[in-house]
Chains A and B, each alone.
Chain A
Amino acid sequence: MKRQLPLIVVAVTAVIVMGVKFIDFGDFGAATIKELDTWSQVTYEFAFLLGAINLTRLHYGNVSRRRPKWVYSVIALIAMVIAAIVTLTNGVKGEVTLFIVDNIANRIDSAIYALLGFYVCSAAYRSFKLKNLEASLLLGAAVLLMLAQAPIGDAIFPGISKVGEWILTVPNSAGMRGIRLGAGIGAYAASIRVILGLERSWTGS
């Protein structure tokens, strides 16, 4: 039953959602979706609690057993406790909460994102090799677009930005549309497998 129940919940919910989406039930349809959204939100909040417990257990274990680099776990635990206390006492939009979010969380977030700039370079340096025709095409397109996207490209090769624009709008669009179409229909089929209970590995079976 432990394995069957999730499958039943998924199938019943899917039938309800598809029913109210496809068939015009008027206000009843909208109210049903809203109700399901609320249930989903409540479940989500409970899951957060589970996540917090898991996180605490993991980091507490690291600290108590003095695992390598356990000091980072101390930082994680302190940050978690402070964030929880501040948010609960000061509110989600409270001044102190927003200060922490704006000046610590968002700054760290931006810094991690900014690594992208460096990692693009090292990934390109390591991977773009003229090994075969496909790799050469990839390399050629990358170099051309890098030049096209920066003013120096036009300064060295006048008109290269127009070539870059053409690559983006024609061959690139064609490829993207193909992947999108395939992935979209693939997602439909994957959902049907789950709804029909054919795909049940996520239940642990």
Chain B
Amino acid sequence: MTLLAEETVEGVFIFGPGMLWDFILIASLFVLVFVMIQRARAGLPIPEIRKIAGLEAIDEALGRATEMGKPVHFSPGMSGFGSEMYAGLAVLSYVAKMAAQYDTRLIVTTRRPYIHPVASDIVKQAYLEAGRPDAFNPEDIRYVSEWQFSYTAAVMGIFQREKPAANLMIGYWMAEALVLAEAGAQAGCIQIGANTNIFQIHFFIVTCDYTLIGEELFAASAYLSKDPMLTGTVVAQDMLKLAVGCLVVIGTIIATVKGDAQGLIDFLSL
């Protein structure tokens, strides 16, 4: 929809050019989320999230590391603060709590300097909550490098030198995806990857033991926390997805019958 945003010179009502449907989409999601939150608060049933193997495997990966007495490596991905990063940090929060409980060493690497203090705080808090603040080692939460492949090389070095038993790469990944995942596999790690980047996701599917594909990453925090309010937002997201899916079907039918769906495209570009 935004692709054709600047084609329309005048916006509709008070909205900027091409922003009407963007607004409707976001507003619908807000409304759906609000309804689901109210249902959760009222104790009404919220559909459960289906089993996601990659998230179930986190406990297995941490258990393996604990048994072997080896560290766990976690990275929240290459992006800055965005939806993927927040999802990655939510998983980090869970992993850090588990690591603190199991007394397993957790190494976290970050590419963006501003993610580092946030990641550090999450892990520190997890150790505090587990009643083991002395076990928190700030040197295991590492800012590595802003440069994509310098980060990659450094993490490959960690795999070789510190031989983690588990490697969790949960976030947004680019060209380094395969290099890191293969280096992790060669170091003998059990690997869980998550990525929303369609250009790189197949590398994780091939090299990781478990992969969260696309939106599964965004369901992670609700899935792990089992919080009905967070689960409600995932349900809201699925309802909107269904609506967009219907729109795709309608567009396909119109395009098939009429030869093109330009009228619908123009309408959605308002």
A189 touches B124 (CB 8 A): no
A50 touches B15 (CB 8 A): no
B190: interface (CB < 8 Å): no
B198 touches A179 (CB 8 A): yes
Question: Which of chain B's residues have a CB closer than 8 A to the CB of A51?
Answer: 113, 116, 143, 146
List residues of A (184-204) whose CB comes within 8 Å of B's CBs: 185-194, 196, 198-199, 201-204
Interface string of B48-85 (1 = CB under 8 A from A): 00000000000000000000000000000000001110
B147 touches A105 (CB 8 A): yes
Question: Which of chain A's residues have a CB closer than 8 A to the CB of B201?
Answer: 179
B186 touches A122 (CB 8 A): yes
A113: interface (CB < 8 Å): yes
> Which A-chain residue is minimally distant from B85 (CB atoms)?
A202
A109 touches B139 (CB 8 A): no
CA distance A69 to B225 in the complex (A): 39
CA distance A44 to B84 in the complex (A): 19
A201 touches B218 (CB 8 A): no
Size of B's binding interface in residues, CB under 8 A: 83
Checking B11, B122, B138, B237 against A202 with a beta-carbon cut-off of 8 angstroms, the contacting residue is B122
B87 touches A190 (CB 8 A): yes
Question: Which of chain A's residues have a CB closer than 8 A to the CB of B152?
Answer: 112
Interface of A: prevailing SS = helix
Interface of B: prevailing SS = helix
- State which of A17-25, A89-97, A154-162, A163-171 sits at the interface with chain B: A17-25
B114 touches A47 (CB 8 A): yes
CA distance A109 to B151 in the complex (A): 10
A202 touches B93 (CB 8 A): yes
Question: Which of chain A's residues have a CB closer than 8 A to the CB of B248?
Answer: 181
Question: Which of chain B's residues have a CB closer than 8 A to the CB of A182?
Answer: 214-215, 241
> Which A-chain residue is minimally distant from B227 (CB atoms)?
A198
CA distance A61 to B137 in the complex (A): 12
**Interface pairs (23), CB distance under 8 Å:** A24-B15, A24-B19, A29-B16, A47-B114, A48-B146, A51-B146, A52-B113, A57-B139, A105-B147, A109-B147, A112-B149, A113-B179, A123-B178, A128-B206, A176-B198, A188-B25, A189-B234, A192-B30, A193-B233, A198-B233, A199-B86, A201-B93, A201-B225
Q: Considering the complex of A and B, which 6 residue pairs feature the smallest CB-CB distances, nearest first?
A: A51-B113, A186-B215, A47-B114, A189-B237, A204-B125, A186-B218
